[in-house]
Amino acid sequence: MDDALRKKYIPMTETTYYTLLAVTTPRHGYAIMQFVGRLTRERLLLGTGTLYTMVGRLAADGIIQVLQEDGKKSYLLTQTGMDLLGEETKRLGQQLADGLKILSGGA
């Protein structure tokens, strides 16, 4: 993976992380917004401006691809996007493990 992309996206913003989770299967914009809202129990609600600015940037960087389905644009994670998502998930898992260790008195 390109080091410039890694530097740009790791650590990942929460909105980017959840958007990438949403597009592990093809989804159009409104479906992404619904998926993220459901997954986060409405803690994170994406607005249209935020979402479409982000997907434009992600597509330009080759993180997601734009698909045309039934006259609608859908978005799907590329292999580069999957690699970034996996790396960020691993990083977050380690961060969580470190926090749990400290908070349980195990440092």
Element housing 101 (H / E): helix 79-103
Size of the chain, expressed as the number of residues it contains: 107
Q: What is the DSSP letter of 78?
A: -
d(CA 48, CA 53): 8
Pick the CATH number of 9-103 from 1.10.10.10, 3.30.930.10, 3.40.50.800, 3.50.50.60: 1.10.10.10
Which has more confidence, 102 or 1? Answer: 102
3-class SS at 39? helix
Q: What is the pLDDT of residues 59-71, one digit of tens each?
A: 999 999 999 977 8
Does the pLDDT at position 106 exceed 80? no
> Rounded to two decimals, what is the model's pTM?
0.93
3-class SS at 54? helix
d(CA 107, CA 94): 15
Does the pLDDT at position 52 exceed 90? yes
